[in-house]
């Protein structure tokens, strides 16, 4: 079974590490984390992600630029806002996006 590739963008390294650990604990998912716009764009261009998870701290201008880039390259990409709330909420957000 092929894993669902998830790109996580979060400005806070410690929070990013926690999100990546939680997502990768699910055997169906493979999460990749980035903290900068340039890293996110490079990762997206190199991997066939199905979901992009936007964490806290991303400026509105950056979020708009990133989302436009992702949607241009893959109009079917699922983009999820995540502002915290624990592993149960995080999983629910991903499963909801995959519907």
Domain that holds residue 29: 18-52+65-83
Separation CA 54–CA 29 (nearest Å): 16
Q: Tell me if the pTM is above 0.85.
A: yes
pLDDT digits (tens, 9 = 90+) for 42-60: 999 999 999 999 987 899 9
Residue at 98 is within a domain: no
Q: What would the mean pLDDT of 82-92 be, rounded to a whole number? A: 71
Whether 59 is in a domain gets the answer: no
27, part of any domain: yes
Q: Is residue 25 part of a domain?
A: yes
User: Distances from the Cα of 62 to the Cαs of 7, 18, 59, 76, 91, in angstroms?
Assistant: 15, 22, 5, 20, 25
- Give yes or no for residue 89 having a pLDDT over 80: no
Structural domain total, the chain: 1
Under the banding of pLDDT at 50, 70 and 90, the label for residue 21 is: very high
Q: Is the pLDDT of residue 86 over 90?
A: no
| 85 has pLDDT over 70 | no
Q: In angstroms, rounded to a whole number, what is the distance separating the alpha carbons of residues 80 and 2?
A: 21
Average pLDDT over residues 61-87: 89
Residue 39 domain-assigned (yes or no): yes
């Amino acid at each position: 079974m092929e894993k669902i590739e998830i790109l996580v963008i979060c400005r806070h390294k410690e929070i990013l590490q926690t999100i990546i650990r939680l997502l990768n604990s699910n055997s169906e998912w493979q999460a990749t984390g980035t903290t900068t716009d340039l890293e996110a764009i490079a990762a997206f261009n190199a991997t066939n992600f199905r979901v992009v998870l936007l964490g806290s701290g991303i400026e509105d201008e950056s979020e708009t630029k990133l989302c436009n880039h992702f949607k241009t390259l893959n109009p079917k990409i699922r983009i999820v806002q995540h502002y915290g709330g624990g592993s149960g909420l995080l999983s629910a957000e991903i499963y909801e996006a995959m519907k």
